[in-house]
Amino acid sequence: MAKSLQSQVSMESEMDIGKATAFSYYYGYLRILAQAQPVGDRLRKARAGCSVVPKLFLLCPLDGKLPKKTTDLVPELTSAGYVIQVTAEVAGARQRQYGNHPLYQLALGGEPDARSALLAVEPVSAITTLRKVSEAMNQSSGQMQPLSLRNCIEDLVKELRRLIAREPSLSGQVELVRYERPAEVAEALRDAAEKHICQLARDSPQPPREDVGRYLAWAFMHGYLLTMAQNRNIPEELAQLKKQEPACKNLHILRLVIVCPLKLPQVPGERGCLPDNITKLDDDLEHVKNVTPVQIDGPAQPGRQYGSFSIYRSKESGNCFALELATPLCTLARGLLAEKHPDTYPSEAESFVTELKTLMFKHDSAMAQQYQIVRTDGNTNLHSALKELRVSQWEK
């Protein structure tokens, strides 16, 4: 009974300390910022004309260890100055300053010339105080059971989210990034930057000009093709299929062919006006076999499947090919149709293919042994393009 009572008292202390810290941080800092000006508006005005994500990201490490530099936590970030501070009269201080948020540039493709966004990121400074308070209480002889700093921080995050959600000048404009590993912070910031840039493209009154196709090539390369190349050996898998599966004995090349249609068909398909099946691109092709995808753990996505491609046979030549439709072009077509700019698809698709080839060439020669890009347009059908493919020396 005594032990149970001790646990109950300890849990109540943890909850009170976490909530009290959140209360202090909210009313002593965040709400003062909100009363001066909505956070999102202040961030937009900080760098007029730049792609600033209108949201303040607050870092909440569950171990209580705040980074000395945010760039140490997320190396992809580049320091880009600070947001102008808010001056307020608080507790007798007439010109007290708040909100000197650091700004960071995040290049989405990992290269200086890639599309980028500015983000305001800072740690929740109150966590340092919370850690010191919990350490002091644990060292006190009157404390019946040690406090869990992690539980206190969890309670702080939960309470802060509740307080922020009810304040219109903060809700949707402040995001708490609760994390255990630096990769979780990088993923949250990258996701926010990508959503922001996509939103800008949707809100733009002018049709996008090649930038969307170029960006989709970066995303396809770094988010899919590289991940596949690092986790599976496609040529080896296809060689095994060629030996073991009679239906696949005529595999012509031991690479995955990425099919890139540069022209939209007259009859829209189910995948954003591109066909839902490659056989609809060319009636010379027939489906032979689906290749089993592999499961690869990614940030916050355990067991994600990669490589849902299939084997197809040319009725004319009898040769087989591993084919996959470039899914970003489906996204591109769907978006341009929704925005009523389908006429820009050919130039955007061409930009996608050109950028993708450049990225594959710049990365390393091994990419050429894994993938083959094939484009089709009104003058070149798919099976004609496949007939032009030549077997490399290492595939013989």
User: Residue 3's pLDDT band (boundaries 50, 70, 90)?
Assistant: very low
Q: What is the DSSP letter of 342?
A: G
Residue carrying the six token digits 């197809």? 312
Domains of the chain: 2-203 (3.40.50.12100), 211-395 (3.40.50.12100)
The pLDDT-based confidence of 149 (bands split at 50, 70, 90) is confident
pLDDT of residue 297: 65
Residue 158: is its pLDDT beyond 90?
yes
What was the pLDDT predicted at 17? Answer: 82
Q: What is the pLDDT of residue 379?
A: 54
Helices 345-363, 327-338: axis angle to 10 degrees equals: 150
pLDDT of amino acid 142:
55
Least confident of 49-53, 181-185, 354-358, 371-375: 49-53
Tokens for 246, please give them: 């009679």
Give the pair of three-digit tokens for residue 102.
């650091």
Distances (CA, A) of 316 to 11, 166, 285, 286, 384: 73, 66, 9, 11, 10
Instruction: Tell if the pTM clears 0.75, that is, is over it.
Output: no
